């Protein structure tokens, strides 16, 4: 699979040709510098745009057209990737040849353009009523957040863990700015996205390049073309000066524990790869340090895992245990990390973790969506396509000593206990 | 081996092996992964059953406990060889069955052998039983720690007399203490038999090779005793109390659970038809563009927690509407008015035909992912839907088929549970 890059009237277009899939997927990716003050607006906006358009002014109308296109699926993703703000609109359409009908993808592409560039407006603006509805629903969601103990504890932990990083890491809904959301700010954010953000288009599936070029050219007049900006991905986590321990005693059931870490080393493509390997052996599979010791040996928890997010340099451990085992569990997680930092990583575990990571990358060729996402992210972070062979080699070449050297700087930043 | 086409380039091979095991294989040669699932017709509901006129009982949660134990059968860790081959091995227990499944890119034959090795002889040590009891106890505590799960369970308990419908699949902390070697042995002897199992393989395999491998495996060579069929009975008789309120000062928001029973007559004679109709019917009735959603939005009673889902488990069926809301009183009043109007509404042919096209598109899309197509075929096999006719059955659904479903929205079929925050 070779990524083909096209530039049509100033827009960067990437074809990810894969013959075996029955669907064609198109991603519109908008990128800009992060602005946490408009994070809520962007979240609302992506939802509002997918609800209705000028041509299909109700949810019912838009659903009808999508259903008629054999269940055209449309989703959005919005998140911060280091210093960059990423908004994606994605459609997945069954390839014409499996339907015995022509131009299904062409019509699907029209719907996507309609969603992005022709929103439902009143006097040229996204209506006040729509924004008010979204705000009310969000307020209600916030007021009942505590009911879902997992979501509540995760949200509270993340806010504590990233407290020194609110300029580039935030979580929806960002309560600090929620009162400032108005239909005016939503409209401004929308205009900024279509007029200033960098646009990249990724299309994956079994299609003819020339035919796709023609199709895009025939529709390009609907896209707002402007001078393309370039961005450099930067990523850093600002730790706290001392460990922040929060014990929230308001839970009525099991104890949820989150431990967030400061990695203490700068993000590079290489360090991210090594850290992914460490995450794997520490807490991402059944033979990992945490699973083997905390669940299987000590029976402290039904689930325990670690999670590493290279996009914003976050690394944390989450587990659920009984109230009486709380301290024991926290101590054991600390012990396991210390053991790893002292070099107590079995060769078998190290090699198995490597094979797991490689295996996961290799199986991505069975998912068009994953391949497209991997490409989008690699272009954003490193300005290059996803290269499976290069990634595999990078993992294979990691030495245990360099992993141990790298993780020596990892230290606890936040302990959040909901008990 | 017989084969059936589900799409022009998607074929399912089937063979019943000499020991009674039904094997289904869906080759996907362009993909690199393979998924295999071994299903045992033994689930959370099976704590009372009858074999040849004799009644048997098991502690609640035995099927789920056995699922955990199978990972350490004969004091061997089953997951070891799977982890060595970077395969994902897991299992789940539903009310009706237990499924052991794995996915792999490497050494499929070796792993299939290993999986089946585990289902020939059964030997569980008391030490492992004690260890698993602790882990399962943690799992049960997690399940008990959700208010929405509690409210849902209350609804099912209000709707049905039969405890096999509302009891937790994993049992209780008390019932799992009764599980010992003797109990597990009874469960294995009654349920873990090839005639009571099914194997489904999807992915990068050649059907003939899989069958040849299976036929020479010790699982096939073993002299299995004759399988004695298992009889289950489900009590679906009506309950007189239809509404329940519970107050809890720890709640943040009120929880509302509404259940609408589907009468047995709609699925007892033709469960396949019910399976094919229940989703499209609900989609037509309760999609986000429907009148119900519009009215709730207009009255400011809608929020993202609203879910409407069908429950169909072969021997009982209902529609569940669930909501977390501070305005529970108004929500219940409105939803009751709205659903009791449903018998008289007329569906739009235009929206229905569009929906059918969408359903066909979504089913085609599922073949782009080995896991998704594996799940689709799994549910068709479990429901005994004719795979070759799946798409034509979908196309043949008419609005007239929905008529009897509209009639279910009557007072006698509706149940409501309110979990209210005590002021």
| pLDDT tens-digit profile, chain B (423 residues) | 999 999 889 999 999 999 999 999 999 999 999 999 999 999 999 999 999 999 999 999 999 999 999 999 998 889 989 998 999 999 999 999 999 999 999 999 999 999 999 999 999 999 999 999 999 998 898 877 888 899 999 999 999 999 999 999 999 999 999 999 999 999 999 999 999 999 999 999 999 999 999 999 999 999 999 999 999 988 888 788 999 999 988 888 899 999 999 999 999 999 999 999 999 999 888 888 888 988 998 998 998 889 999 999 989 999 999 999 989 999 999 999 999 999 998 888 999 999 999 999 999 999 999 999 999 999 999 999 999 999 999 989 999 999 999 999 999 999 999 999 887
Tally of domains within chain A: 2
Residue A202 and residue A251 in one domain? no
Residue A130 and residue A175 in one domain? yes
Task: Note whether ipTM > 0.90 here.
Answer: no
Domain of residue A175, CATH code: 3.30.830.10
Domain locations along chain B: 2-231, 243-421
Instruction: Return the CATH superfamily for domain B2-231.
Output: Metalloenzyme, LuxS/M16 peptidase-like (3.30.830.10)
DSSP helix, strand, coil percent of chain B (3-state; round to 5): 45, 20, 35
Tell me whether A320 touches chain B (CB under 8 Å): yes
Mutate to test the interface with B, among A16, A22, A350, A396 (most CBs of B within 10 A): A22
Least confident of A123-132, A134-143, A319-328: A134-143
Percent of chain A predicted with pLDDT > 70: 100
The domain defined by B243-421 folds into Cytochrome Bc1 Complex; Chain A, domain 1 (3.30.830)
Question: Is there a domain that residue A405 lies in?
Answer: yes
A365-397: per-residue pLDDT in tens? 999 999 999 999 999 999 999 999 999 999 999
- Radius of gyration, alpha carbons of chain B: 23
Residue A383 C-alpha from the chain's centroid: 18
CB neighbour list of residue B127: distance below 8 Å, 6 or more residues apart: none
Tell me whether B368 touches chain A (CB under 8 Å): yes
Q: B-contacting residues of A 78-97, CB under 8 Å?
A: 92, 94
Question: Is there a domain that residue A110 lies in?
Answer: yes
Between A70, A286, A303, which is nearest B83 by CB? Answer: A286
Residue A295 and residue A350 in one domain? yes
Strand runs labelled E in A265-313: 304-309
Question: Is there a domain that residue A353 lies in?
Answer: yes
Q: A-contacting residues of B 370-409, CB under 8 Å?
A: 370
What distance in Å separates the CA atoms of residue B335 and residue B283, rounded to the nearest whole number? 17
Q: A-contacting residues of B 17-56, CB under 8 Å?
A: 30-33
Tell me whether B134 touches chain A (CB under 8 Å): yes
Residue A206 and residue A250 in one domain? no
Judge contact between A412 and A334, C-beta under 8 A. yes
Q: What angle do the packed helices A269-283 and A347-362 form, to 10 degrees?
A: 110
Residue A205 and residue A105 in one domain? yes
Residue A35 tokens, joined: 């602005």
Q: Report the sign of the C-alpha dihedral through residues A407, A408, A413, A416, in that order.
A: positive
Measured CA distances, B28 to A20, B12, B59, B174, B377 (Å): 10, 10, 41, 46, 13
- Provide the domain limits for residue A69: 4-222
Q: In chain B, which residues have their Cβ closer than 8 Å to the Cβ of A141?
A: 303-305
pLDDT on residue A221: 81
Pairing mode of beta strands A4-8, A11-17: antiparallel
Residue A191 and residue A321 in one domain? no
Residue A252 and residue A398 in one domain? yes
Residue A217 and residue A151 in one domain? yes
Tell me whether A122 touches chain B (CB under 8 Å): no
Residue A207 and residue A270 in one domain? no
Measured CA distances, A401 to A154, A345, A350, A356, A396 (Å): 33, 10, 11, 19, 14
Q: Which of A387, A385, A386, A407 is nearest to A398 (CA)?
A: A407
Residue A156 and residue A266 in one domain? no
Question: Is there a domain that residue A236 lies in?
Answer: no
Measured CA distances, B215 to B26, B192, B333 (Å): 18, 18, 61
Pairing mode of beta strands A198-205, A11-17: parallel
Tell me whether B84 touches chain A (CB under 8 Å): yes
- Contact yes or no for A22 and B289 at CB 8 A: no
Q: Do domains B2-231 and B243-421 have the same CATH topology?
A: yes
Give the CA count within 13 Å in the CB-facing half-sphere of B293.
Answer: 18
pLDDT on residue B191: 98
A347 class by beta-carbon count within 10 Å (0-12 exposed, 13-18 middle, 19+ buried)? exposed
- Radius of gyration, alpha carbons of chain A: 23
Nearest CA in chain A to B72: A296
Residue B338 tokens, joined: 């709205």
């Amino acid at each position: 699979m070779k990524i083909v890059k096209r530039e049509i009237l100033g827009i960067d277009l990437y074809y990810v040709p894969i013959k075996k899939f029955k669907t064609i997927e198109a991603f519109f990716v908008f990128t800009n510098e992060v602005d946490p003050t408009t994070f809520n607006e962007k979240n609302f906006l992506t939802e509002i745009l997918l609800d209705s358009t000028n041509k299909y002014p109700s949810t019912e109308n838009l659903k009808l057209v999508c259903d008629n296109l054999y269940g055209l699926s449309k989703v959005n993703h919005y998140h911060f990737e280091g210093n960059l703000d990423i908004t994606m609109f994605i459609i997945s359409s069954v390839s014409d040849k499996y339907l015995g009908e022509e131009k299904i993808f062409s019509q699907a592409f029209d719907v996507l353009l309609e969603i992005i560039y022709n929103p439902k407006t009143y006097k040229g603006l996204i209506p006040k009523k729509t924004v008010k509805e979204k705000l009310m629903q969000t307020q209600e969601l916030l007021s009942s957040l505590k009911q879902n103990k997992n979501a509540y504890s995760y949200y509270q932990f993340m806010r504590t863990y990233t407290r020194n990083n609110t300029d580039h890491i935030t979580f929806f809904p960002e309560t600090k700015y929620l009162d400032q959301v108005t239909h005016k700010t939503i409209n401004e954010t929308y205009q900024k996205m279509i007029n200033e953000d960098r646009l990249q288009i990724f299309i994956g599936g079994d299609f003819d390049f020339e035919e796709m070029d023609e199709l895009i050219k025939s529709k390009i007049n609907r896209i707002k073309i402007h001078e393309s900006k370039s961005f450099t991905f930067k990523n850093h986590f600002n730790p706290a000066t001392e460990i922040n321990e929060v014990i929230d005693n308001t839970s009525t059931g099991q104890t949820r524990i989150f431990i967030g870490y400061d990695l203490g080393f700068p993000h590079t493509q290489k360090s991210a790869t090594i850290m992914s390997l460490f995450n794997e052996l520490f807490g991402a599979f059944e033979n990992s340090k945490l699973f083997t010791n905390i669940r299987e040996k000590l029976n402290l928890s039904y689930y325990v895992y670690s999670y590493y997010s290279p996009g914003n340099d976050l690394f944390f451990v989450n587990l659920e245990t009984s109230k009486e085992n709380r301290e024991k569990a926290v101590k054991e997680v600390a012990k396991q990390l210390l053991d790893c930092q002292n070099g107590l990583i079995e060769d078998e575990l190290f090699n198995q973790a490597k094979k797991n990571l490689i295996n996961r990358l290799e199986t991505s060729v069975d998912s068009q969506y994953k391949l497209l996402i991997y490409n989008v992210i690699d272009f954003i972070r490193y300005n290059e396509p996803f290269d499976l062979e290069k990634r595999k080699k990078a993992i294979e070449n990691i030495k245990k000593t360099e992993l141990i050297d790298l993780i020596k700087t990892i230290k606890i930043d936040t302990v959040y206990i909901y008990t | 081996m017989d084969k059936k086409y589900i799409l022009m380039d998607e074929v399912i091979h089937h063979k019943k092996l000499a020991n009674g095991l039904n094997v289904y294989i869906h080759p996907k040669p362009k993909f690199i992964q393979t998924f295999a699932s071994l299903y045992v017709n033994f689930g959370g509901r099976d704590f009372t059953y009858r074999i040849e006129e004799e009644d048997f009982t098991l502690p609640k949660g035995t099927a789920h406990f056995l699922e955990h134990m199978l990972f350490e059968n004969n004091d061997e860790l089953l997951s070891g060889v799977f982890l060595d081959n970077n395969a994902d091995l897991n299992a789940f227990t539903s009310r009706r069955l237990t499924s052991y499944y794995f996915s792999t890119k490497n050494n499929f034959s070796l792993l299939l052998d290993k999986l089946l090795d585990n289902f020939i002889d059964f030997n569980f040590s008391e030490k492992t039983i004690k260890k698993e009891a602790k882990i399962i106890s943690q799992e049960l505590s997690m399940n008990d720690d959700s208010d929405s799960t509690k409210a849902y369970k209350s609804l099912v308990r209000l709707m049905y007399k039969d405890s096999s419908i509302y009891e937790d699949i994993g049992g209780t902390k008390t019932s799992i203490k009764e599980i010992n070697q003797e109990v597990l042995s009874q469960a294995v002897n009654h349920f873990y038999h090839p005639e009571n199992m099914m194997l489904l393989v999807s992915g990068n395999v050649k059907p003939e090779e899989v069958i040849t491998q299976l036929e020479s495996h010790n699982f096939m060579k073993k002299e299995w005793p004759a399988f004695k069929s298992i009889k289950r009975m489900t009590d679906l008789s009506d309950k007189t109390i239809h509404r329940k309120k519970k107050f809890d000062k720890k709640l943040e928001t009120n929880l509302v659970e509404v259940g609408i029973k589907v009468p047995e007559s709609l699925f007892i004679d033709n469960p396949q038809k019910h399976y094919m109709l229940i989703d499209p019917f609900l989609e037509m009735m309760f999609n986000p563009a429907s009148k119900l959603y519009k009215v709730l939005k207009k009255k400011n009673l809608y929020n993202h927690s609203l879910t409407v889902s069908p429950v169909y488990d072969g021997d009982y069926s209902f529609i569940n509407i669930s909501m977390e809301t501070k305005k529970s009183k108004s929500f219940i009043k409105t939803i009751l008015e709205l659903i009791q109007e449903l018998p008289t509404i007329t569906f739009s042919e235009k929206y229905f035909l569009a929906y059918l096209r969408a359903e066909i598109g979504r089913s085609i899309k599922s073949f782009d992912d080995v896991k998704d197509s594996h799940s689709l075929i799994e549910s068709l096999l479990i429901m005994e839907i004719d795979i070759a006719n799946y798409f034509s059955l979908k196309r043949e659904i008419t609005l007239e088929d929905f008529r009897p479903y509209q009639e279910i929205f009557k007072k006698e079929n509706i149940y409501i549970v309110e979990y209210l925050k005590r002021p």
